[in-house]
Structure 1
């Protein structure tokens, strides 16, 4: 795969996006996403940056990145994720196109969240 980013390397784009989310700067975070960005996760999926960012504003997740693996336009993050006081280890696979995140696939064990919701 050829790197499609024209502004910053994909790794820098993704880490800047995570930094903005951690600071709850949702406007800045949204600027790192393409309008047609797709999200696929364990608990559902979203089409479009607006729908995804709406969820992020409500959940106010905090990421503690443990490892970054980047290859061309793809970046994989391993992180501890604070979801309203529930800490979960997860992995996110980000694809960057034209300097913005175009897709995100997330994997984690949802049992702690589902147990808390009971």
Structure 2
């Protein structure tokens, strides 16, 4: 059986490489996302948001991942195109029956947003 930590690792790898078929398989149909730049309800909205952010994504530098039987917190630097400094980011994912059901992400988006205005 795949652990929540392994699912989280697969999620970040798939997002970074643009493998949205794998991402779809990791997300529950009713996944709920709340983050600094938006909200999404359901797998289609969540994938659309991940695709949008993926267009700005250069890489993810994971520093730590802490997990238990259902929850994973990943601490990473979000590197984006456009010259913004890497954004220190915390991502909490809740896993049920092998799929991510809830995602909460927090980071300071000001520098990323400023690069979009240039």
Q: Which residue of 1 aligns with 2:69?
A: 72
Q: Which residue of 1 aligns with 2:26?
A: 32
Q: Which residue of 2 aligns with 1:107?
A: 106
Superposition TM-score, scaled by structure 2 size:
0.87
Question: By percentage of residues, which structure has more helix?
Answer: 2
TM-fit CA distance, 1:117: 3.0
Report the Cα distance in structure 2 between the residues aligned to 1:9 and 1:83, rounded to whole angstroms.
Answer: 29
Superposition TM-score, scaled by structure 1 size:
0.87
CA RMSD of aligned residues (A): 1.3
Relative contact order (alpha carbons < 8 A, sep ≥ 6): 1 or 2 greater? 1
Number of residues paired by the alignment?
A: 112
Q: Which residue of 2 aligns with 1:58?
A: 52
TM-fit CA distance, 1:113: 1.7
Structure 1 segments unaligned to the other structure (5+ residues): 1-6
Contact persistence 1:65–1:78 (CA under 8 A): yes
1:20 aligns with 2:20: no
